[in-house]
Structure 1
Amino acid sequence: MRKVILVLIDGLAHEVAQHSLGYLLGLCEAGRATGYKLQCELPAVSRPLYETILTGTRPVDHGVVHNQVVRTSREQSIFTLARAAGLTTAAAAYHWLSELYNRAPYQAVRDRFTQDERLAIQYGVFYHRDDYPDCHLLLDAEWLRRRFDPHFLLVHPMNVDDAGHKHGLDSSQYRNSARRLDLWLADYLPGWLAEGYQVLVTSDHGMNRDHSHSGTLPEEREVPLFVLGDAFSHDRHARPRQLELCGTLASLLGLAHDKPVCGELLK
C-alpha cells in the first residue's frame, strides 16, 4: 500500500500543458516524472468527468451528464473503496466534489470545512468560487496532509479553467494561469515525493477557442497525465485511459477492486 495524491487541474488542455508546465516537464527531462496524453470521456464537462475519474465509469453510464446534475454519486468511488478498507481520505477541492461524495446540495457553512470520519471524504476544505486562488488551494491541501495524514488526498485547483472560460485557449491569461500553478506545485511536490507519496497530475478536460468545452475537438478532449513516484513503471510507451485512473489509484493504495487499471503504468 502506498499513499497517493491526485492533483486534478481543472480545464488544462494537453497542448498548453506541453509548453507551459516548465517544472513538471523539467522533472520529465530529468527522468523523475513521466508524461502522457489522455483523451477524456464525453461530454467534456467538469462534474461528469470528476465522477468518471474517481469511479472509472463513463458519464453515459453513471448518469452525471452535465454540471447541473446535483446529487451524490451512485457509483463505487476511490473514496468509498478507501473508506471500506479503513483508509483515511481528504480533499481540497471545488464544492461539486463535496456534493458528489459527501452531501448534496452543498451548504457552505456546513461543508466548506469538513471533518467527519463517517463521510466518504472525511477531511475537506471545499471552495465555491471559480477564482478561489490556486495558491490558497495548495495551502489548504498541504494543511490537510499535515494535519490528518490521509492515505488518499485529492487536490483540485480551478484557476486554469476559470481563465479559459474568461479568455479562451489562445490567451496569455490561460497559459499564464497554468504556468503559475506549475511553479506553485514546485513548492510542494519535492516534499510529497520525499515522504513516499505517489503523485498523479492530470486534468478533467481541455478548453477551446470559444471559451468553453464539452465536445470532441482535440483541444477539448486531450489532457495531460504526469506520474511521479517509485511505484510507477515510467514506461513512456504506456497508453493510459481516463477510465483507468480510478483503478490505478486503487491499486496503488492496495485496495481490492474491479475497476479497469492501466497496468503498464505500474511496476
Structure 2
Amino acid sequence: MKHKVILVVLDGLNYTVANHAMGHLQAYVGAGRAALYTLTCELPALSRPLYECILTGVTPIESGIVHNHISRLSHQRSVFHYAREAGLSTAAAAYHWISELYNRSPFIAARDRHTQDSDLPIQYGHFYWSDHYPDSHLFADAEHLRVNHTPDFLLVHPMNIDDAGHKHGLDSAQYRNSARSADIILADYLQGWLLAGYQVLITADHGMNNDRSHNGLLPEEREVPLFVLGDAFSLNPDVMPKQTELCGTVCELLGIAHDKPLCRDLLRPAP
C-alpha cells in the first residue's frame, strides 16, 4: 500500500533527552499510537555525513561525505530521487546542506532559499542557513509546503536543539529545553499530519556531548531516537532498526521501487 510520509530530523537530539523531555510524543507512545526506538548513528557522528546516510542509506565512508565541509552534490540515490522517478512529489524545509546534497551546489540563497522546480529531486523547498533560525519558523515553512503542495514525501529539519547543544552542552537546561520546545511545536502539527494520511518518522542525525560537540563514539553522541506514528507501523517494541535502513523503509512506505536496506519489522504486514 502506498502512503505519504513526513520525515522529521531533529538535528543533534540525544536519545536520553528525547526519552525524558518530549512529553507530547511520549503521550502517543503511552497511548499505543506510536513507538520509540533507539538508533545508533553511523560514524562519523557529524551532520552532513549523516543527512546523506539517513536519506540514501549509505554510510559516510562509502558515500564520501565524511565531514561537514564537503560541499557537493551527492553521488548516491536518495529518497528524493526514488520518489521523483516514481512520479511522486517531494518537498523539504531544511538546512541548506540538504539543498546542496540533492538539488544544487553551492547553495545560492537568492536562487535556492525558496525552491519550486519540478525537474529537481526536491521540487519544493524552503532552505535556511543560520543555526539559530527559529524552529517555530521552520515548522511553519514545512506546513506551508505541505498545505500548498501536498507532497508525497516531506522532510522537516530544524536546527535549534543542535545549536543549543553546541552553545551549552548536553547537560544543560538550554539543551533540554530546546528539545521540549520542539516537542511543543510538534504538538501543533502532528495530529493534522496524521489526519491527512501521513506516516511520520521523527529521528535525529547524531546526539551531543558535554564538550558541546559530537564526532566520537560516546553513547550520548551516537544514540538517537526514532519515533514512528501512523497506521502503517507495527509498533513492535522489540524492533532494532538501523540508521542505514531509514531510506529504504521510507521508500517502502511510499510504495516505490528501491534497492536500499530497510527494517521490514517496523512496518505492519500487508493484509
- Both proteins in one fold, TM over 0.5: yes
> 2-side partners of 1:257 and 1:209: how far apart?
39
Partner residue in 2 for 1:215: 216
- Once the two structures are TM-superposed, the CA of residue 70 in structure 1 deviates from its matched residue by 0.1
Deviations 1:214-254 (A, max 9, x none): 11000000000000000001101011000000000000000
Partner residue in 2 for 1:85: 86
> 2-side partners of 1:258 and 1:67: how far apart?
26
Instruction: Please identify runs of 4+ aligned residues in structure 1 that moved more than 3 A.
Output: none
In the alignment, structure 1 residue 32 sits paired with structure 2 residue 26: no
- Once the two structures are TM-superposed, the CA of residue 208 in structure 1 deviates from its matched residue by 0.3
> 2-side partners of 1:101 and 1:215: how far apart?
26
Residue aligned with 1:35, SS:
strand
Aligned length: 267
Letter in 2 for 1:212: S
> Which runs of 5 or more structure 1 residues have no equivalent in the other structure?
none
- Once the two structures are TM-superposed, the CA of residue 195 in structure 1 deviates from its matched residue by 1.1
Residue aligned with 2:227, SS:
strand
> 2-side partners of 1:256 and 1:104: how far apart?
27
> 1-side partners of 2:138 and 2:43: how far apart?
27
Letter in 1 for 2:224: V
Partner residue in 2 for 1:109: 110
Residue aligned with 1:82, SS:
helix
Residue aligned with 1:125, SS:
strand
Letter in 2 for 1:252: L
Tell me the TM-score normalized by structure 2: 0.98
Partner residue in 2 for 1:242: 243
- Once the two structures are TM-superposed, the CA of residue 26 in structure 1 deviates from its matched residue by 1.1
Partner residue in 2 for 1:175: 176
> 2-side partners of 1:77 and 1:141: how far apart?
19
Residue aligned with 1:187, SS:
helix
- Once the two structures are TM-superposed, the CA of residue 59 in structure 1 deviates from its matched residue by 0.2
Partner residue in 1 for 2:258: 257
- Once the two structures are TM-superposed, the CA of residue 127 in structure 1 deviates from its matched residue by 0.2
> 2-side partners of 1:18 and 1:200: how far apart?
15
> 2-side partners of 1:264 and 1:54: how far apart?
19
Matching of residues 50-129 of structure 1 within 5 Å: 50-129=51-130
Partner residue in 2 for 1:141: 142
Tell me the TM-score normalized by structure 1: 1.00
> 1-side partners of 2:254 and 2:186: how far apart?
22
> Which runs of 5 or more structure 2 residues have no equivalent in the other structure?
none
CA RMSD of aligned residues (A): 0.4
